[in-house]
Amino acid sequence: MSQQVRVRFAPSPTGYLHVGGARTALFNWLYARKTGGTFVLRIEDTDVERSTQESVDGLLRDMKWLGMTWDEGPEVGGPHGPYYQSQRLEIYQKYARRLLDNGAAYPCFCKEEELEAKRQKAEEEHRSLHYDGTCRSLAKEEVERRIAAGETYVVRVRVPEKDYVLEDLVRGRVEWKSETLGDFIVLRSSGMPVYNFCVVVDDADMEITHVVRAEEHLTNTHRQLILYEALGIKPPIFAHASLILGEDKSKLSKRHGATAVGQYAEDGFLREAMINFLALLGWNDGTDREIYNVAELTECFSLERISKSPGVFDHNKLIWMNGQHLRALTVDQLLPLVLPFLKKAMPDDARLDNPEVLRKLVELIQIKMNTLLDAVPVAESILRASQPEDEESIALVSTEKSKVLFAALAKEFTTCEWVKDGYNAAIKAAGKTAEAKGKDLFMAIRARITGSCHGPELVGILDVLGREEVIKRLNS
């Protein structure tokens, strides 16, 4: 096996890429990038009934959005392909033949109805539900005769009468007793391989050195260690990361705010924030630090710092973290990210095609944003002239004093210099004319111009809208 680190992410394309799967991918990707190793993407699509091309496309799209590019796998190829399990059936057959030839596996001709009857009897007698080994010691001649006669059979592995121990990088020492497992199937009567067999064959064939996956796969490891031994292959190093729980400490689900990774992109989250958030779901560098960029995470990451304790998914923290990353961007970095959201909401607004106006707008609303989507209502409140609707704003624009104020300000704005000092001088002069100040001055003007007495800095709004549009709104 190669000494270079080789890790893999092996999703099943039966749905979207969820938070748990994305975190598993991230831990593998970070470890590969930290060590200069290879990150392999493998699609486990042998569940023909549930696997879909739509899910495959979604997985690849979401991985690309997160920036977790793979060194080997779909679309990029590599020396250990194919990278779809459905295209590797001949390879599984070859390894199954190897097990049969070395005596580590045997054909089992037991019918399903026979096995079901034995299972029911074992339950009634409160015995373990292991395969009883009926076909384990069949003579070679009988096996050949029954196969020649066309009898269907599965291939079972002989489970040795010995205990197995795993030194897991996260869980520590894990032990399995010999009596906890009976001879298990690796190849169905249809010739299709079972999950654990596929995983072992693929990891061995692809020279995977470290298997980093979720804790829920720990129960599979007993069978996989037996298969590695039966094939005469050294197993990889295992690291089973803790589960991700909701804030109520129950299994993570949509009701906790978790959703498809692709949905976060549509909801205006930054890939850097998602990477930051996912990394801290069950890992830390030993400090209280919370905000990292991808380069910093790569530098800090180690498998040994993955926690045994479950990570807790806090949607509000994700929003906060996204806001931190978003406000750390320069305007030049933010502009191309936020523009598609603004264009979608206001497709006919030509001002979004004006670089100067757009830049001023983004500078103004960046401080108010926790997601890119947050830019839309703020931008709409500025760019779209609307009548006040809330009681406070209506009251502020409906007084006789406010009418005098708006008329005076429109006049002042007609001749003032259109810069910050000019705005302030004009507002001060109009306020003096209308005998308005404080709330009756600044909030009333904002309410008339934007429809709300609350929002971004008034001077910034004037800068975005321009002289002609502001005077038009004051006179409306």
| pLDDT tens, residue by residue, 254-295 | 777 767 899 999 999 999 999 999 999 999 999 999 999 999
The answer to whether 187 touches 231, Cβ cutoff 8 Å, is: no
Dihedral over Cα of 188, 193, 195, 201: its sign: positive
Q: What are phi and psi of 257, to 5 degrees?
A: 100, -5
The class level of CATH for 91-187 reads alpha beta
* DSSP class per residue in 182-247: --EEEE-TTSPBPHHHHHHHHHHHTT--EEEEEGGGGGGHHHHHHHHHHHT----EEEEEPPEE-T
Four-CA torsion 241, 243, 249, 250, nearest 10 degrees: -170
Token pair in block for residue 135: 């076909």
The answer to whether 30 touches 278, Cβ cutoff 8 Å, is: no
Residue 385: per-residue pLDDT? 81
Lowest mean pLDDT across 53-57, 249-253, 442-446, 458-462? 249-253
Residue with tokens 């109009």: 430
Share of the chain above pLDDT 70, in %: 99
| pLDDT tens, residue by residue, 390-448 | 899 999 999 999 999 999 999 999 999 999 999 999 999 999 999 999 999 999 999 99
In 3D space, the residue among 197, 310, 152 whose CA is nearest the CA of residue 246 turns out to be: 310
First to last CA, the chain: 77
What value does the mean pLDDT take over residues 15-19?
92
| pLDDT tens, residue by residue, 185-234 | 999 999 999 999 999 999 999 999 999 999 999 999 999 999 999 999 99
Range 347-374 burial, b when 16+ CB lie within 10 A, else e: eebebbeeeebbebbbbbbbeebbbbbb
The answer to whether 205 touches 234, Cβ cutoff 8 Å, is: no
What value does the mean pLDDT take over residues 124-147?
88
pLDDT at 2 over 50: no
What value does the mean pLDDT take over residues 359-386?
93
Residue 260: per-residue pLDDT? 87
Four-CA torsion 357, 363, 369, 373, nearest 10 degrees: 30
What value does the mean pLDDT take over residues 52-77?
96
Contacts of residue 306, defined as CB under 8 A and 6 or more positions apart, other chains included, come to 27, 169, 170, 239, 241, 242, 282, 283
Instruction: Quote the DSSP letter at residue 439.
Output: I
Alpha-carbon distance of 199 to 194, in angstroms, equals 9
Residue 256: per-residue pLDDT? 72
> pTM for this one?
0.91
Give domain limits for the chain.
Answer: 6-74+197-245, 91-187, 391-475
pLDDT at 120 over 90: no
Residues that are catalytic: 254
| pLDDT tens, residue by residue, 136-191 | 999 999 999 999 999 999 999 999 999 999 999 999 999 999 888 999 999 999 99
Q: How far is CA 440 from CA 96, 359, 436, in A?
A: 83, 30, 6
Lowest mean pLDDT across 32-36, 78-82, 104-108, 451-455? 451-455
What CATH number labels 391-475? 1.10.10.350
Residue 1: per-residue pLDDT? 40
SS3 string of 35-74?
HCCEEEECECCCCCCCCCHHHHHHHHHHHHHHCCCCCEEC
In 3D space, the residue among 79, 359, 21, 455 whose CA is nearest the CA of residue 214 turns out to be: 21
Residue 395: per-residue pLDDT? 92
Average pLDDT, the chain: 93
Share of the chain above pLDDT 90, in %: 85
| CATH 3.40.50.620 at 6-74+197-245, yes or no | yes
